[in-house]
């Protein structure tokens, strides 16, 4: 009886995780990461940022190149800008989903 109950809960939990509408809108749950722009290559969609630790990627602070998601405009950014952004890993690349100047 106990095992059946455990199985039912496991199945329900898995189903809830798969069908949860929140699974698709993870952007809002992503932590905002602070950083400083080091280099911008708007045409090729790359931006180098010296960033603070990124909790959702388990990454310590460092300077590195990021890709930007479709629709994200980085043409107005330049070296020295303080920024706040959200990022995910997609196919082994770090992709910025949202970015804004801070301060």
| Residues 68, 96 contacting (CB under 8 angstroms) | yes
Nearest residue to Cu ion, scored by beta-carbon proximity: 64
State the Cα–Cα distance between residues 63 and 35, nearest whole angstrom.
9
Does 95 sit near Cu ion (CB under 5 A)? no
Residues contacting Cu ion: total by CB under 5 A: 3
- Of 16 and 62, the one with the shorter C-beta distance to Cu ion is 62
| Residues 45, 68 contacting (CB under 8 angstroms) | yes
- Of 13 and 79, the one with the shorter C-beta distance to Cu ion is 79
Tokens 């959200």 sit at which residue? 86
- Beta carbon of residue 45, minimum distance to Cu ion (angstroms, whole number): 17
Q: Are strands 93-101 and 62-68 parallel, antiparallel or unpaired?
A: parallel
E strand or H helix that includes residue 83: strand 82-90
Window 55-74: residues binding Cu ion (CB under 5 A) = 59, 62, 64
Window 2-61: residues binding Cu ion (CB under 5 A) = 59
Footprint on this chain of Cu ion (rule: CB under 5 A): 59, 62, 64
């Amino acid at each position: 009886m106990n095992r059946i109950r455990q199985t039912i809960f496991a199945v329900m939990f898995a189903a809830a995780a798969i069908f949860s509408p929140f699974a698709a809108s993870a952007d809002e749950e992503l932590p905002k990461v602070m950083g400083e722009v080091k280099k911008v290559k708007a045409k090729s969609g790359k931006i180098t940022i010296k960033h603070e630790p990124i909790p959702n990627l388990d990454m310590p602070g460092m300077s590195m190149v990021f890709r930007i998601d479709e629709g994200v405009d980085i043409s107005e950014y330049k070296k020295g800008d303080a920024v706040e952004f959200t990022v995910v890993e997609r196919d082994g690349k770090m992709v910025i989903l949202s970015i804004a100047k801070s301060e």
